């Protein structure tokens, strides 16, 4: 079990998912996890749910933490410069602390400008399956981050799923693919369900078939030594039902639409970074 002391700034859905993963996996003990959440109702809920300490305000006590995780929305971070309470994060942070951000569109340079005392900065892009411990998290870091701190942050995000180290220049592409991807997959499940209903299936059966088909196929792709293309060919018999359906997908620009959706999300992430 890691003995690092962690402070979460913000305790919304993603913050709670990470806290839950840390506690369930015994990666970090509850005694070493604290959080700051300005909304009283949310603060009380999280404190009671996880039995962890909350900070009522930001002051010099934050210097005791080894890792500060920014689990707030990008627009909240942008307001930090006008918020006296939040500015104390910069004032009281120390050079020995690691700053970890899960905010989309806020690059390491901008975080470094705010946390002037901290040079070890790590950006992480998790995704919403973190809520069930199945996240895909990409990690990028400043050159000053030590190997031991990289390992610690990887362990934190391993508690909610899989991790991959990437260069920061790739984070916007990660955002477009795995960050936005769950919404695209859910839209696909909705479409499969509607296709089943159109073909005569009751909604509850069509939805169950669609969800399990996507879940099972993803697990098959994950565990197989074959490529995704090879696995698709295994299901696509000449002259059969699947190749007919695939032809219809191609006629309606299915692949191109998915490619453009990922690229569009990527370009929007780049816009938010500027």
Domains of the chain and any CATH numbers: 6-171 (3.40.50.720), 179-273 (1.10.3730.10)
- At 132, the pLDDT band (50, 70, 90 cuts) reads very high
Per-residue pLDDT, 210: 98
Residues 155-162, mean pLDDT to the nearest whole number: 97
- At 83, the pLDDT band (50, 70, 90 cuts) reads low
Q: Say whether pLDDT at 209 is over 90.
A: yes
Q: Which of 171, 216, 173 is nearest to 192 (CA)?
A: 216
Lowest mean pLDDT among 13-27, 80-94, 248-262: 80-94
Per-residue pLDDT, 85: 58
Per-residue pLDDT, 12: 92
Q: Say whether pLDDT at 119 is over 80.
A: yes
Per-residue pLDDT, 78: 67
Strand partners, 55: 36
Residues 131-157, mean pLDDT to the nearest whole number: 96
β-pair type (33-36, 6-9): parallel
Q: Say whether pLDDT at 38 is over 90.
A: no
Condensed to tens digits (0 to 9), the pLDDT of residues 185-196 reads: 999 999 999 999
From CA 134, how far away is CA 251, in angstroms rounded? 33
Q: What is the mean pLDDT of the chain?
A: 93
Per-residue pLDDT, 174: 96
Strand partners, 136: 162
Q: Say whether pLDDT at 92 is over 90.
A: no
Q: Could you give the 3-state DSSP secondary structure of residue 245?
A: helix
Q: Which of 60, 17, 7, 66 is nearest to 37 (CA)?
A: 7
pTM metric for this prediction = 0.91
Q: Say whether pLDDT at 130 is over 90.
A: yes
Residues 72-100, mean pLDDT to the nearest whole number: 77
Instruction: Provide the Cα torsion 11, 90, 118, 154; round to 10°.
Output: 0
> Are the C-beta atoms of residues 168 and 140 closer than 8 Å to each other?
yes
Q: Say whether pLDDT at 86 is over 70.
A: no
Residues 251-258, mean pLDDT to the nearest whole number: 96
Share of the chain above pLDDT 90, in %: 79
Residues 249-262, mean pLDDT to the nearest whole number: 97
Lowest mean pLDDT among 71-85, 108-122, 255-269: 71-85
């Amino acid at each position: 079990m890691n003995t690092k002391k962690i402070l979460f700034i913000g305790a919304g859905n993603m913050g709670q998912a990470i806290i839950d993963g840390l506690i369930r996996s015994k990666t970090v003990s509850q005694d070493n996890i604290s959080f700051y959440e300005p909304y009283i109702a949310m603060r009380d809920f999280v404190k009671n749910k996880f039995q962890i300490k909350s900070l009522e305000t930001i002051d010099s006590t934050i210097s005791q933490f080894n890792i500060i995780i920014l689990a707030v929305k990008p627009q909240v971070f942008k307001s930090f410069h006008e918020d006296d309470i939040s500015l104390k994060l910069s004032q009281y942070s120390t050079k020995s602390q690691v700053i970890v951000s899960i905010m989309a569109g806020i690059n390491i340079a901008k975080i470094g400008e705010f946390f002037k005392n901290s040079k070890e900065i790590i950006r992480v892009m998790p995704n919403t399956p973190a809520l069930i411990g199945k996240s895909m998290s990409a990690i990028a870091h400043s050159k000053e981050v030590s190997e031991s701190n990289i390992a610690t942050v990887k362990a934190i995000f391993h508690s909610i799923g899989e991790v991959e180290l990437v260069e920061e220049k790739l984070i916007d592409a990660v955002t477009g693919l795995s960050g936005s991807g769950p919404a695209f997959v859910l839209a696909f499940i909705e479409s499969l369900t509607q296709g089943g209903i159109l073909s005569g299936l009751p909604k509850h059966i069509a939805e169950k078939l669609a969800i399990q088909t996507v879940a099972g196929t993803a697990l098959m792709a994950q565990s197989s030594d074959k490529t995704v293309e090879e696995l698709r060919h295994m299901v696509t018999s000449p002259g059969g039902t699947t190749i007919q359906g695939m032809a219809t997908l191609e006629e309606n620009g299915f692949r191109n639409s998915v490619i453009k959706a990922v690229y569009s999300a990527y370009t929007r992430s780049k816009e938010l970074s500027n």
